[in-house]
Structure 1
Amino acid sequence: MLPVPSKFTLVVGHGEGSTPLNAFDAALIDAGIGNLNLIRVSSILPPGARFFPELRIPPGTLTPTAYGYLTSSRPGEVVAAAIGVGFSSDTYGVIMEYEGFCTKAEAETRVRAMVEDGFRARGITLKDLLVLGIDHRVEKIGCALAAAVLGY
C-alpha cells in the first residue's frame, strides 16, 4: 500500500502552446508542477493532512494530484479552472475541481458549491474551505489548470 499523504498545497497555472498537450504542459510549468510525474487522484483529502503554501518536491517524483484543466484552440475564448478543498473538524476532507468556459470568479463559485455538495452527500460537517482559481484568454491554443498537490 502507498503511504498516506500528510500535507498538500493548491496551485494554478495557465499557458499557451502549439498543441493542446503543449498548452497543458505550459500550464503545469506555470503552476510549478511541470517537472513532476502526476498521479491523478479523486476527491478525498486524507485525515490530518495540513495545508502548506508551497511543497518542495524533487523533479520526477510520483505525485498524487487532484486537478482540473481545460484547453481551447479558439482565439479570444476564456477558459478557467478552480480547485476547492473542504475540511471537517474530525475526519477526512473533500477535494473538488472545476473547469469551464467562464471567468475565474465563476469557476471559484462553482467549485465552492461542489465542495459543499460533496460534504452534504457524505453527511459530514464542513468546517473550512480553501478555493483557488485562474482564467486564461486564448491566443492560439491555451490552457487553464488548477490542482491540489498531495505530499508526504
Structure 2
Amino acid sequence: MSTIRVVWGSAAGPTKMAAYDGALADAGIENYNLVTVSSVIPATARVEAVGTAPDLGPVGNRLTVVQGHATAADNEPASAALAWAESDGGEGPGLFYETTGTDPDSVRERALDGLEAGQALRNWAFDEPSVQVETTEEESGAYQAAVVVAAYGTSEPIC
C-alpha cells in the first residue's frame, strides 16, 4: 500500500514563478519535477495530510501530483484548496478535487461541491470528505502564491 501525502505552502516573490517556487519550498516539494495527473486515488493508496513533505527521493526526480495552486499580484490574496474522499472503509479508490480563488471560504466550498459532483458520477461508497485550504498573506510589491498538493508515493527517476 502506498501513501499519498497532502502538503501545502505559500510564499511571496518578485515574479509569479518565484512565488510559486517559494510555495512549493514551503510545502517541501520544490526539488522535484511535478507531473500532474487528474484526480483519482488508487484503491491501493491511503491519503495522509502532513503539511510539509518528507524526503521523497533525489533532487530532479519526477513526482506525480494533484495540485491546486493560485497566484495573485500585489496586495491580492490567493487561495488554493484540495478536497478528497477515500472509499468507504478504505477498500477501494477515492477522489481529489482542486480549486483556487481569492476567498478561502468560497474556495473551500467550491472544492467540496466539486468533490460531491465527482462522487455522484461514480458508483462507489465514500468516507466523509477532507479539505485543506492554503491562503497567502498579502504583501505589498510582490506576487503571492498558495499551493495544496497531493504527492503520490515517492519520486522516480526522470531519465
- The reply to whether TM is greater than 0.5 is yes
Counterpart of 1:73 in structure 2 is: 73
The reply on whether 1:137 has 2:133 as its aligned counterpart is no
The whole-number CA distance in structure 1 between the counterparts of 2:47 and 2:66 is: 14
The reply on whether 1:115 has 2:115 as its aligned counterpart is yes
Structure 1 stretches of 5 or more lacking a match? none
The whole-number CA distance in structure 1 between the counterparts of 2:80 and 2:18 is: 17
The reply on whether 1:21 has 2:20 as its aligned counterpart is no
- The TM-score with structure 2 as length reference comes to 0.83
Counterpart of 1:87 in structure 2 is: 86
- The TM-score with structure 1 as length reference comes to 0.87
Using the TM superposition, give the Cα deviation of residue 37 of structure 1 relative to its aligned residue in structure 2, in angstroms: 1.4
- Aligned residues between the structures: 146
The whole-number CA distance in structure 1 between the counterparts of 2:127 and 2:78 is: 30
> Which deviates the most, 119-128 or 63-72?
119-128
Letter in 1 for 2:79: A
Counterpart of 1:100 in structure 2 is: 101
Using the TM superposition, give the Cα deviation of residue 93 of structure 1 relative to its aligned residue in structure 2, in angstroms: 0.7
Counterpart of 1:43 in structure 2 is: 39
The whole-number CA distance in structure 2 between the counterparts of 1:25 and 1:56 is: 17
Is the CA contact 2:78–2:101 (under 8 Å) kept in the aligned structure 1?
yes
> 1:30-76, CA deviations, whole angstroms, 9 ceiling, x for partnerless residues?
1111111111111111102023435430232211000011111132x
What is the RMSD of the two structures over their aligned residues, measured on CA atoms?
1.7
The whole-number CA distance in structure 1 between the counterparts of 2:40 and 2:17 is: 27
- Aligned sequence identity (%): 28
Letter in 1 for 2:13: G
Using the TM superposition, give the Cα deviation of residue 122 of structure 1 relative to its aligned residue in structure 2, in angstroms: 1.6
Is the CA contact 2:16–2:143 (under 8 Å) kept in the aligned structure 1?
yes
Letter in 2 for 1:56: D
Structure 2 stretches of 5 or more lacking a match? 155-159
The whole-number CA distance in structure 1 between the counterparts of 2:25 and 2:149 is: 12
The reply on whether 1:30 has 2:26 as its aligned counterpart is yes
Is the CA contact 2:135–2:146 (under 8 Å) kept in the aligned structure 1?
yes
Counterpart of 2:157 in structure 1 is: none
